[in-house]
Structures are given as C-alpha cells and as structure tokens.
Chain A
C-alpha cells in the first residue's frame, strides 16, 4: 500500500461522516505524510496502522461527541455507528453480538412503549363506557370514568417513561460503542 492508497482507503472508510469531518481528517493525514518525509511512506504507513483502524478512531470520537451533545444532529448516527462497527478491526462475531444487543435493548423499550399505548387506549375506552353508562346510574358511570382516567394516565406515564429512558439508554450505548471504536482502533 502506498500513500495514495492509504489516503483513499481512509476517505472511503470515513465517507458516512459529514464532509467537513472527512476533509479535516484527510488533510491532517496528508500533511502527516508530508512531514514524515516522502521517502518514509512505508514506515509511516506501518506506524499508522491500517486505514480502518485510523478511521475507527475518528468515527468513534465523532459518535461519542454526538452522544454527549445535548441536541445531536440526527444525521443517521445509528447507521454511521453500525457501519463503523462493521468496518472496524473488531472481530465480526463480536460486532454481530453488539448489534444484536443494541437491537434487542431498543426493542425492549419500543415494546414497553407500545404496551403503554395499549393501556392508555384501554383507559380511553373505559372513559367512553363511563359516559355511556351514566344512564345506568351515576355510581356505575363514575366508577368506569374513574377507572378509565386512572388507566389512561398510567398508560401515558408508561409510554413517556419508556421513551425518555430509551433515549438515555440509547445515548449511553452510543457513547459506549464510540469508546469501543476508539479503543479498538488504538493498535
């Protein structure tokens, strides 16, 4: 591999990042090669390691930073993360388990969220029944109305909590994977 191949491979590995991130990294490493001296290209490449390891560290840093930011720009960070994991020097079975783990954790929160929605709907239904059964007597109507409101509120709270908690957990997972990429890119 020569210098140009190294740089173009690096560019390819970084292609999912925003354009300014790619240019910044590529110009840094072009300058790095120049400063190391053109006759030392092969030594420099050996010292830098594989382009995928170099890219892995850059992407890891990007992912961690995004997770730490209060308002991340959601330009497909999940996709970038998954692709970076696949392109990283981490062994494929481990990558697959990490993706499966993240996927199942997301699924847990989504299903809790949906069950919350279902509970809230049941509550709404009971409220409707409540209004309807006022004709049967005030006590029956109030009973259904009360149960309905209570159930509805519980459902809304479950959904809200699962969304909030899901976001926090997702953010933490993102940061963890970013750190993993940085560490695995280390050598």
Chain B
C-alpha cells in the first residue's frame, strides 16, 4: 500500500523538483519515480497544465542531433511553490496529529514504535 500522489500534490512536487534546476521530461519522470509511485505517463498532463498556467516555461536545447525540451520554473511558479510549501507544512502537521498519535500529547516511545511496525506491516 502507498499513498497516492496526484492532483495538486503532484503539481506541487513537480514545481519543487524543478526548483533547483530545469529538467527534461524523461529525466524528471525518472527522478520522481525514485521517490514516489507515479506512472511513466503521469507527468505529461501535469507539465502541460503547468505550462498553460504559466507556472513553468519550456525551452529546447540541442542534444545528440535532436532537441530536448527542458522545463523551468517561472517567477509565478516560484511564488506558487512557496504557497504550496506553507500549505503543505500545515497539512502535514494536521495529518501527523492523527497518524503519529500526536493528538495534543507529546509523542511517546511506544507510539513511535507503533507506527514503524504499522508501516512495515503494510508494505
């Protein structure tokens, strides 16, 4: 079992992945697949939408006698990424309240060992 990364969360992850350096489609897909369970064809629609919303821009660079299309964050994209970062912190804290048994009480050793065994059991 794994959590589904899709929709807004996937948009945010793509922006984050491109924040350090531009990347081309294949490279980006491979890079993201090492960390999350997304299909090979998941990114094209996301990139297309982010381009249309001006959060990304693309440029072609010659490589091996053909062109490679690189995707790069725009200013607007960087602003959106910062908003996603703030929203994610909030979301993560809220989820952890329940998932890591942090509901108002300091996390105990027992609670922590309980999640790891739970996570292992799921895999």
Contact = CB atoms under 8 A, between A and B. Distances in A.
A29 interface: yes
A182 B39 CA distance: 12
Contacts of A28: 25, 44, 47, 69
B26 A48 contact: no
A85 interface: no
Interface residues of A, number: 26
Name A's interface SS: helix
Contact of B42 (A31, A36, A57, A65): A57
A48 B40 contact: yes
Interface string B107-123: 00000000000000000
Interface residues of B, number: 21
B45 A182 contact: yes
A49 interface: yes
Contact of B26 (A36, A60, A182): A36
Contacts of B48: 24-25, 58, 61
Contacts of A29: 44
Contacts of A60: 45
Given A32-B25, A58-B44, 20 more contacts: A25-B48, A28-B44, A29-B44, A31-B25, A32-B26, A34-B64, A34-B66, A35-B24, A35-B25, A35-B26, A36-B26, A44-B40, A57-B44, A57-B45, A58-B45, A58-B48, A60-B45, A61-B45, A61-B49, A65-B52
7 contacts: A28-B25, A28-B47, A31-B25, A32-B25, A57-B41, A61-B49, A187-B39
Interface of B: 6, 24-27, 29, 39-42, 44-45, 47-49, 52, 64, 66-69
Closest 6 CB pairs of A and B: A35-B26, A61-B45, A54-B41, A47-B40, A48-B40, A32-B26
